Amino acid sequence: MAREGIIPTALGSAVTAAGVAMRIWDMKNNGMSKRDIMPMIGAGVIGFGLAHIVLGGIDLAEHRSF
């Protein structure tokens, strides 16, 4: 079943959305200060989410049954 790829892809989408929301909130409140740690955390969360989306997509492609 292709469920193995759907779960990481959905998790990655949620994590990426949370990271993007964190970045938008930080940019509105603080501007783009390089000294703050929040921009780095937001970028890490976005990267973590995108990695899950890619790995889930690979699982979906591998387990596709025609």
Task: Check residue 66 and give its pLDDT.
Answer: 46
Asked if 8 contacts 52 with a C-beta cutoff of 8 angstroms, the reply is: yes
Q: Where are the domains of the chain?
A: 3-62
Q: How many whole angstroms separate alpha carbon 4 and alpha carbon 11?
A: 12
Q: How many whole angstroms separate alpha carbon 38 and alpha carbon 9?
A: 25
Task: Check residue 65 and give its pLDDT.
Answer: 55
Query: H helices within 1-66, ranges in order?
Result: 3-30, 38-62
pLDDT greater than 80 at residue 48: yes
pLDDT tens for 1-43 read 446 677 777 888 888 888 788 777 777 776 666 566 667 777 7
Specify the residue for token string 């937001």: 42
Task: Check residue 4 and give its pLDDT.
Answer: 67
Where does residue 32 rank: exposed (0-12), middle (13-18), buried (19+ CB within 10 A)?
exposed
pLDDT greater than 50 at residue 55: yes
